[in-house]
Structure 1
Amino acid sequence: MAHAEKFTKGAIFGIANHIERKTENHSNEDIDISRTKDNYSLLNDNSDLITRLNNRLEEVHVYNRKDVNVMVDWVVTLPNELKGATQEQQREFFSNTHDFLVNRYGGLKNVVSSEIHVDETTPHLHFAFIPVVFDEKRQQERVQANKVIDRAELRVFHDDLHKYLLEKIPGIYQQGILNDKTIPVSNVAEIKKMDKQIKDEIKIKKETLKEVTAYKNPKKEFDKIIDNSSRSILGLVQLSKEDLSKVSEIILGAEKSTVIHTNYRKKTDKEIAGLKRENKAYGLALGKEQAKSNNLWLENHSVNNELDSLKQDKAQQDKNIRMYGYLTNVDIQETLKSLTPVETETLEILDSMRNKTFKSTRPNLIHAKEVFEKLPATSRLYKTTRQVLEKVKNALDQLAQKVQRSKPRL
């Protein structure tokens, strides 16, 4: 089963942290951090999602709007039939799925992430890419997600991937994408049980049908009667009353067996046809329940990713508010654009000094002193920094005195 989700620039930071596991605080309870070390990437360029994304966006045209989707993430789950497969076979499935997606969406230049997560309930692939199309009129590449991932694409995607995997890894993959059984639901077990009962009943009916006959071997019975018979002077076969009665029974039994066989055959054929229809109906019901369950899992996975993203954004915003609280009567967004590198570093240090252990660490104090002394008098932070600088110097002096007192006397 596979599911696609589109992301704007503002949502990239959060989903990148989730995909690349850059935080240990996950809202998704399915994540087992003890197994996170077993996750792996199918990209071997020693880069990360954000870097790849920014580098590629510099090469293509993208509208400067907040609502533009600049990335698509396909989540492809491991089919149930491969749950018991070896790690190598599972890797083969994901590797071939990766190749299919790379070729489908413009090559590796558009791929920003291809990560396999095995630390959740269901192993799955996160394949993130930039949806790029070529504008014939302007003769340039541009980002346009609604043309790359549209309804037509979603209609044929699963079938195309299914056929590709059947061709590439027939020894491993058989039916997973179209008839996926990855996530069990409460009534699936009941449907499977009924399905087995129907198949068993069909088997019993067929076996019973073969056994419906008066004599399993009428010819053998006739041969025995002939052997026991005698001939008259004229060469006619003479039968005893007992043998004659047996012949009569064979003939009547054969006729009766034929009638029973014919009637039973009609009845059984009708029952088998009915059972097959029921079996097909249960199969369709099973497929719908499993598809519904998979969709719920993917939706839950997507919601958890979005929650992680929102938490990351909030943390960054809280930090900005703290940092720029040292500046009065300013617009934070405008200030972000106008700050010099020294002013930015100054604010970072001022925010870090909220930590109680900061002042007790000599390298931190020395670094703060050096940065604060670089700040020009024209900066809006100058007055505040002068006051803090005195405290930093005093803290350094106190540390020096403690060291001096702790030295042994000669």
Structure 2
Amino acid sequence: MASVDKFTHEAMASMLRHNDRMTAEPSNVDIDPERNKLNYSFELDHGGLTDFEYYKQLIDSKYIYGRGSRREDQAVTGCGWVVTAPKEICGDAVKEREFFQGVFDFVSDRYGKENIINNAVHYDEAGEPHIHIVFCPVTKLDHDKVRFKTVSTKEAVKLESGRYEFGFRFKLDENGQKIQLRNYARMSDYYEEKISANDVLNKIELKNFHYDLQKYLDANGIEGKVITGKTGGVNFTVKELKEFTEKTGLRLDEVKEIQGDRSLLESYVEQHAKIADFEVLLSEKNAVIESLRNEIMAKDNTLDISSSMKEELLYKDKQIRELSRIFSDRERQIAATADANLNLQKKIREMELSLAAKQQALDRANDKIQTLESEKTIESSQKNRESEWGHSAGTWGDRSQSTGWGTTNIEEEKNW
């Protein structure tokens, strides 16, 4: 028989001390210190860290809902399975160790050996020997599930490790789009895995644990029955088992027949096991129904969209055709304008060439005019100089008309 328990951060520290028998004055009076030496555990690779140090390192690397707030203190960060050795193998040390090794390997594979914090096989308590396996409930963090509104389904999904998780679907708006949460936990963006006991140890997982463990033991040739017909795979907590023992003074395997060959307890547990089977079957059926319902909803949404948007789509189509016609006209106008622009550009280039030729002719004419004016100026200057020279020569030849030195000399001669 197996039982399960869950621990907060504070309870984890106490549980680890209890398993390793590090409590000075244990509250469990059924512990016999003289038998502590019979206890043992299976090796774990924690890289040289203590179990509690490894546990703290592990939870620090995973997302926890409410991290940094009061919710974190209340969060379940550890879980533990307690599996008791079956009566038929008790007293055989070899078979007991094989059984506990098989249970340890099964739990390690199912929840991840890297998530196992502590394990201990106890022989020093009252009752049959049992193994404690403490682990962190780690699972994959779906970022879309954190960011968008979701609805849990009754569909149970079996993971590669063998354990079960419930499925979910996204809430959709009237357009069939996922509805985003206004304020999602943005701290989750930095993690790929989360710690969630509700996801890891859900109802379907607990119902299947005993059956899957028994299959594992049988497949590996390990003796020991965890399903006997008396327990039926029912998960009692450690507290419930202790209360039962305190009230009756008996363990479950010591209950005597009360009515016929069955006790009332066996009858109840047997019925409970059948109910568990039906619940698993019902879960599978619900998964099929949920899948069909989703398909119907998708089709209904498609039909609703088709009927409600038909007129709008026709109107949009008409608008598109009209816009296409307008665009065609505009394209033709643009093409015609482009041709006209080309013709204008051609004429402008011709005019520019003509103007350039005329400008060149005008420049040559201006040069010629300047040359002629320069020649005319030179010729006029030469004529003026010639005129001045002729006038001077007549004056020098006619002495009688001179009032200069010639006249003076004559008069001087006359005076003498």
Please give the TM-score of this superposition, normalised by the length of structure 2. Answer: 0.44
Which one has a bigger Cα radius of gyration?
2
TM-score (normalizing by structure 1): 0.45
